[in-house]
């Protein structure tokens, strides 16, 4: 959870208190060295208020289990990302990630282990993503990454690294953990979020079908 709300409100309150003290000293002979008991109380109250704001902002943008962004954040952010890639003549890659056989994991190992698996997958996705990427838990056992780049050849490298990391996680959990990842590129394959999701979903199921046939 970030501290932006607390920083903004505390900074504003401190500046306001200093301005009031200076004004009081100049026009009402208020002693400038007077212990600011009331000011400390106001700063503390402002910190608590800022904390509540930061919590609400965190809950409005993040998934509580994985701490990744949630669907609402992606829906709000997508137009800004599109405007940015258009302006900089780059491409936007959408990775749609589905956990393989997650229902079986939940049914055989329990929901507590299932939650741990989701949390570990989220950490793997964050580990193999760039700082500017937007990573979200889209729904249930589905994840999404929006990545701005100028070289789409990075896709296969990233997918390979994620799969390799999950093989190590499988050994740790003593059960098979894998994901299916479909991709779609803006503006080459689609130009809206819904169309990108559909294209990535089709790509993912095509890969799943190929895997079953092999």
Residue 35 pLDDT greater than 60, yes or no? no
pTM: 0.75
User: Which tens digits make up the pLDDT trace of 125-169?
Assistant: 999 988 899 999 999 999 999 998 766 678 888 999 999 999 999
Q: Is the dihedral of CA 130, 133, 138, 144 positive or negative?
A: negative
Give all domains of the chain, ordered by start, each with its CATH number: 4-61 (no CATH), 71-213 (3.30.70.270)
Please answer whether residues 98 and 142 qualify as being in contact, where contact means their C-beta atoms are separated by less than 8 angstroms: yes
pLDDT at 52: 59
Residue 15 pLDDT greater than 60, yes or no? yes
pLDDT at 118: 97
Return the bridge partners of 170, or none. Answer: none
Alpha helical stretches, state H, the chain? 4-28, 37-61, 71-88, 102-109, 111-127, 154-173, 193-213
Residue 86 pLDDT greater than 70, yes or no? yes
Known catalytic membership, residue 141: yes
pLDDT at 212: 66
Annotated catalytic residue within 63, 98, 141, 203: 141
Angle between helices 4-28 and 37-61 (to 10 degrees): 160
Task: State what percent of residues in the chain have pLDDT above 90.
Answer: 56
CA-to-CA distance for 61 and 134, rounded, in angstroms? 11
CA-to-CA distance for 127 and 72, rounded, in angstroms? 23
- Going edge to edge, which strands form the sheet with 142-149? 134-139, 142-149, 91-99, 179-186
Residue 4 pLDDT greater than 80, yes or no? no
Residue 46 pLDDT greater than 60, yes or no? yes
More confident residue, 60 or 203: 203
């Amino acid at each position: 959870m970030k501290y932006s709300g607390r920083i903004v409100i505390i900074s504003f309150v401190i500046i306001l208190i200093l301005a009031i003290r200076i004004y009081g000293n100049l026009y009402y002979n208020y002693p400038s060295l007077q212990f600011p008991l009331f000011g400390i109380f106001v700063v503390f109250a402002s910190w608590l208020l800022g904390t509540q704001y930061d919590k609400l902002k965190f809950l409005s943008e993040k998934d509580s289990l994985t701490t990744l962004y949630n669907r609402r954040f992606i829906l709000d952010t997508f137009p800004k990302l599109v405007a940015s890639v258009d302006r900089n003549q780059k491409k936007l890659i959408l990775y749609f990630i589905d956990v393989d056989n997650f229902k079986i994991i939940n049914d055989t190992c329990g929901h507590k282990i299932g939650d741990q698996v989701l949390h570990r997958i989220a950490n793997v996705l964050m580990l193999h993503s760039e700082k500017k990427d937007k990573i979200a838990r889209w729904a249930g056992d589905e994840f999404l990454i929006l990545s701005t780049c100028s070289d789409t050849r990075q896709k296969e490298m990233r997918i390979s690294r994620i799969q390799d990391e999950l093989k190590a996680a499988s050994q740790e959990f003593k059960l098979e953990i894998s994901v299916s990842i479909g991709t779609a590129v803006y503006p080459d394959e689609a130009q809206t979020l819904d169309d990108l999701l559909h294209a990535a979903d089709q790509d993912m199921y095509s890969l799943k079908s190929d895997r079953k046939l092999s």
